[in-house]
Amino acid sequence: MTIQVKISKKKIPYKNAYLFLKKRVELLKKLKSQEMIWILEHPLTYTGGIRSNNSEILDKKIKIFKTNRGGKITLHNPGQKIVYFVLDLNKRKKDIKNLVRQIELTIVEFLKLYKIKSRPDKKNIGIWVGDKKIAAIGIRVSNWVAYHGFSINLKNNLKYYKKIVPCGLNNTKVTSVKVESNIKIIEPEMKLKKIFLKNLKNI
72 exposure class (CB count in 10 Å sphere: 0-12, 13-18, 19+):
buried
State the residue range of the domain holding 192.
3-200
- Say whether pTM exceeds 0.85: yes
Provide the domain count of the chain: 1
Q: What is the pLDDT of residue 85?
A: 98
Note if 167 is an active site residue: yes
Per-residue pLDDT of the chain (203 residues; tens, 9 = 90+): 689 999 999 999 999 999 999 999 999 999 889 999 999 999 999 998 878 788 888 898 999 998 888 778 889 999 999 999 999 999 998 999 999 999 999 999 999 999 999 999 888 889 999 999 999 998 999 999 999 999 999 999 999 999 988 766 666 689 999 999 999 999 999 999 999 999 999 99
103, 49, 188, 14 alpha-carbon torsion, rounded to 10°: 140
pLDDT of residue 70: 72
Please check whether residue 104 is in contact with residue 119, taking contact to mean a CB–CB distance below 8 angstroms.
no
User: What CATH number should be reported for the domain holding residue 182?
Assistant: 3.30.930.10
Residue among 167, 192, 200, 203 flagged as catalytic: 167
Helix 188-200 to helix 96-112 angle (10° resolution) is 140
Q: Residue 1's pLDDT is what?
A: 67
Q: Can you give the pLDDT at residue 165?
A: 82
